[in-house]
Every structure is written in structure tokens, then in C-alpha cells.
Amino acid sequence: MKTITINIDDKIEKDFRETVKEDRGIGKGKIGAAVSEALQLWIKEKKEEEIAAQQIDIMKKAKSLGKFKFNREKIKGHFWDILIAATMLENGITHIYTENVKDFKSLPSIIAINPFKE
């Protein structure tokens, strides 16, 4: 376990503490666990953004060559779902309505909503 000391905006700190309290309650380690989760999600999102940018760059280059290449080792998921997600991220879209919610679960920066389920 490591300690990180940071300075953040007072409003962000207040909102974060209130959100942790509402979501997890009050108790030892609640804020630390929430910060760890937030950092993990941020790291995963940044990696996804990097992969999406790489794949979009590859698609642009491949298009000009009349070929299409896809790196399955770097990305987990179905080709078309990843292509949709990369296109969404490139255009600032974070929500998709689909019955195929499970294939977007591994992409925390994409929120998949099944309009036929509540």
C-alpha cells in the first residue's frame, strides 16, 4: 500500500466525499477504496483512448492503401464493436443504445444501454 499526497479543488474534494458517503457509507478505508477505483478506471480509460487512437490511425492509413488492418492482440472484443467504440470516442460520443450491452462492458468509457430492459 502506497500513499499519494495531492492537491485538488475544494469543490471536487467535497463532491467526492459526499459521493463516497452516499455510495459506500462512512467508514475506514472507504475514501481510499473509492480513490483507487477511480484511478483504475482513469488508467483503463487512458489505455482505451490510446488504443482507439492507434486503431483509428491504422484505419485511416489502411483506407488510403485500400486495405484494412486490425490488431486483435491489443484489443479484447469483437471487431465491429471495437470499430463502433473507436468511432464513438473519436467523435466524443459516450452512450450507445443497443441490445448488445455485454460486448461494451469491457470499455468503461462507453456506456451501453439496452432500451428494451429496465
Q: Would you mind telling me the total number of residues written for the chain in this entry?
A: 118
Q: How many CB atoms lie within 10 A of CB 82?
A: 24
Instruction: Report how far residue 47's alpha carbon sits from residue 50's, in angstroms, rounded to the nearest whole number.
Output: 5
Mean pLDDT, residues 14-28 taken together: 93
**What percent of the chain shows pLDDT beyond 90?**
36
Q: Tell me which of 104 and 60 has the higher pLDDT.
A: 104
Q: Tell me which of 18 and 105 has the higher pLDDT.
A: 18
Q: Identify which of 79, 78, 74 has the alpha carbon closest to the alpha carbon of residue 54.
A: 74
Phi and psi at residue 97, in whole multiples of 5°?
A: -100, 120
The pLDDT of residue 59 is above 60 = yes
**Arithmetic mean of pLDDT over the chain:** 81
The pLDDT of residue 19 is above 90 = yes
Global pTM? 0.49
Query: What H or E segment, with its residue span, contains residue 81?
Result: helix 79-90
Question: What pLDDT is stored for residue 49 in this prediction?
Answer: 83
Strand partners, 97: 113
The answer to whether residues 51 and 110 touch, using CB atoms and an 8 Å cutoff, is no
